[in-house]
Amino acid sequence: MVENEAFWKKSPGGKNGHKEQGLPWEGPEMVRRDGEPHRGSLILFLGEAVFFFSLLGVPLLGLPWIVTLPWSLTVYLMARRDLRRMGAGLMDPLGRKPTEEGRGYSLFALVLSLVFALFWGLFILYLSRAR
């Protein structure tokens, strides 16, 4: 047992009086593996795709906002939910970085879609009042 003493000491705790230092599986670098698998790569792909389509809206006068607004909102909410579940230890935390990146892409697309929607709303309002 002496050879494992360093392993036991790097773990925090002291629960149940076991080795006075805690259990090795209670360390901060240890995560549960019985949680949900992460969807980081899916969220990153969807975030990049909606980002691309929202940028495509610039030369098309923002018309794709009808599609990108609900799409970007869905991807953003998926990423937010997954990051909360990762923080709670219910989902595999290895997907945190791609999930955060996908959330960033979808947030940019959401803002751009809202700007285009506002532009089209004001434009239609202007046309209706001009007559």
The tens place of each residue's pLDDT in the chain, 131 residues long, gives 444 444 434 445 444 544 455 666 666 666 666 778 899 999 999 999 999 999 998 888 888 989 999 999 999 999 999 999 999 888 989 999 999 999 999 999 999 999 999 999 999 999 999 77
If asked whether residues 7 and 63 sit together in one domain, one would say no
If asked whether residues 71 and 89 sit together in one domain, one would say yes
> Could you give the C-alpha distances from 54 to 21, 78, 84, 109, 119, in angstroms and in order?
53, 18, 26, 6, 14
If asked whether residues 78 and 45 sit together in one domain, one would say yes
If asked whether residues 82 and 112 sit together in one domain, one would say yes
Q: Which domain holds residue 16?
A: 1-30
If asked whether residues 40 and 5 sit together in one domain, one would say no
If asked whether residues 39 and 90 sit together in one domain, one would say yes
Closest to 79 (Cα-Cα) out of 58, 95, 65: 95
Question: What pTM does this model have?
Answer: 0.72
